[in-house]
Amino acid sequence: MSDQTQPAERASSPLAETVQMFMKNHAAVVALVVLTCIVIGAVVGPFVYPNDPFDMVWAPFSPPGEEGYIFGTDYLGRDLAAMIVHGAQVSLTIGLAAAFMSVFIGITIGALAGFYRGWVEEVLMRFTEFFQVLPTLLFSMVIVALFGASLVTVTIAIGAVSWTAVARITRAEFLRIRELEYVMASRSAGAGNLKLMFGVILPNAAPPIIVQAALMVGTAILFEAGLSFLGLTDPNVVSWGQIIGSNRQYILDAQWTVTIPGLAIFVTVLAISLVGDGLNDALNPKLRQR
Amino acid sequence: MPLLSVQNLRVELKTRDGIFPVIDDVSFTLDEGENLAIVGESGCGKSMTALALMGLVPHPVGRVAAGQILFADEDLAQANETRMRSLRGNEISMIFQEPMTSLNPVYTVGEQIAEVLRRHQGLGDKAAWAQAVDLLDAVGIPNARTRAEAYPHQMSGGQRQRVMIAIALACRPKILIADEPTTALDVTVQAQIFDLLHELREQTGTAMILITHDMGVVAEMAERMIVMYAGRRVEDGPVADVIATPRHPYTRGLISCVPHLTETLTDERPQLTEIPGIVPSLKTFGQDNCLFAERCAHASDQCQSGRPQDVMMGTQRVACWHAETIA
């Protein structure tokens, strides 16, 4: 009875194993803690620190610490700390929304191309390549310039240029997994195409897509910063990139007006990347083990 | 009336060098509750026959070019995809060769069984899960209730094949196709799996098509056998007769390849024989001659120039020009 000697162990789910693997990557754990603090700060910050970021509160170019304004004031005498706190929400929201959008588009296109092959794949991949060769910053600037600078158009502009990587990864995973025996086994048990695509193949293709999505949040934040640095952003909301952009002429006189929001972006994106890296470690070896 | 009747089935594969029939004019029938074995070397079209029955010939490389697959008066070769989907896993099920990779790694085994029940029997979540646990118990998984929550990688190969059998038999199909179900398993586990299949078939009355190259398995499990070579049926008949008096030189070769155990290990044993050569390449499939001729000791000009016709010899049907003379 060699195949029955295994003890009836308590089943540990793939999720539990992933968490276990993630905990082994210390940098990622630290980054996750930092990221959690940033997110909590972005959510509750405006309530804890309700100063209006557009109010002129003190003399322009006051260095950090003066008059209790811990980050000082910018060229219009606005409270930099309030701008950072309020801007966090905007930067993170745009980052998440744009990443979500590009993951959604990327998975749909990549899944259809990888699953159906043939002319569907040809058409969709040429379409993807078309977007890949567009200069991304220029293209998103065109979108924002054409449709006006609002949070929604900025999000769409970022999402529209960054989904190609997800589409290619999804397609590659689908091409690999669709040939595996359990897909044929599911088909022979009566599963339809939709079920095969999203119920069978996609969950198995998820790990690299999750990692890519996490990293994409970081790049989307950077992208948003880049656009708002160029002034292509909603002037009625503060975002980190916009703070840098509006203060850039005064970098020699008041370096903190650029340094502090720059550091905020740096720390956030670094934390996201490290978490993405940790996810990569956590999700990949398990695949090998199987 | 037979449960399943395959008539003049021809499946073509498109390759760079042209279109060739991987299954060439194959006919057979399967009665209710019967156990039929399809035997042959790798590349003879055994697995492709199974896929054709399931309507799963790889698209767009392959297609069913001619012939009928009659299942309860319905021609499955003509049936649309929606109809086939409702039959797969429900009326006709299949077990695959590789239990290690045939289960989806991200779902629990209980969920994978329950899913089939929900799809075909319209059971609710709870009822499907309860029945999945019962099925696991029926296929001999100990502690079925807790093991239902296990993931495939937490099970051994034999256990996974048991799970595959549970999935295949969940909806009490009329036909079970087993494509080399034990090739990847230890010999001891093989015997257990065959015992289990025997037992379950007796309970459910499911007919089985067993695809294998293992003559021992055929003798053990099947009542009737078809020998396939290069996409064609070369011989068929009751297992006992075919093994006792193989008529086709290829069948003979296959049977003489099986090593025999002697009572004591030191006894002199006859040297193992082999069939010289290999299965011809797909490019030669479909030619109007005997495709086995180049490996056959009895080959003559006639074998090279014409396709052998079926000859009835007692209970066996043989496709060989020299069936009568070499017998």
pLDDT average, residue stretch B302-306: 84
Mean pLDDT in chain A? 85
For A154-167, write each residue's pLDDT tens digit.
Answer: 999 999 999 999 99
Q: Give B54's contacts in chain A (Cβ within 8 Å).
A: 188
Confidence of residue B46 (pLDDT cuts 50, 70, 90): confident
Q: Indicate whether A1 pLDDT > 50.
A: no
Chain B residue whose CA is closest to A177:
B104
Q: Give A3's contacts in chain B (Cβ within 8 Å).
A: 156-159, 162, 186, 189, 192
Residue B268: the pLDDT is: 67
- Strand-pairing partners, residue A198, are none
Nearest to A143 by CA among A162, A157, A130, A132: A157
Q: Give A182's contacts in chain B (Cβ within 8 Å).
A: 101-105
Tokens 């008539």, located at residue? B7
For B199-239, write each residue's pLDDT tens digit.
Answer: 888 888 899 999 988 888 888 889 999 999 988 999 999 99
Nearest to A71 by CA among A202, A258, A265, A248: A258
Q: At what angle do helices A80-116 and A202-229 cross, to 10 degrees?
A: 140
Tokens 């975002």, located at residue? A239
Residue A228: the pLDDT is: 84
For A53-111, write each residue's pLDDT tens digit.
Answer: 777 777 777 777 777 777 777 777 788 888 888 888 888 999 999 999 999 999 999 99
Q: Do B151 and A289 touch (CB under 8 A)?
A: no
Least confident of A8-12, B154-158, B321-325: A8-12
Burial of B160 (0-12, 13-18, 19+ CB in 10 A): buried
Q: Do B88 and A180 touch (CB under 8 A)?
A: no
Is the CB of A192 inside 8 Å of chain B's CB atoms? yes
Q: Give B157's contacts in chain A (Cβ within 8 Å).
A: 3
**Nearest neighbour of B153 by CB, restricted to A186, A192, A290:** A290
Q: Do B90 and A14 touch (CB under 8 A)?
A: no
Q: Do B89 and A189 touch (CB under 8 A)?
A: yes
- Asked if A175 and A114 touch (Cβ cutoff 8 Å), the reply is yes
Q: Give B97's contacts in chain A (Cβ within 8 Å).
A: 181
Confidence of residue B131 (pLDDT cuts 50, 70, 90): very high
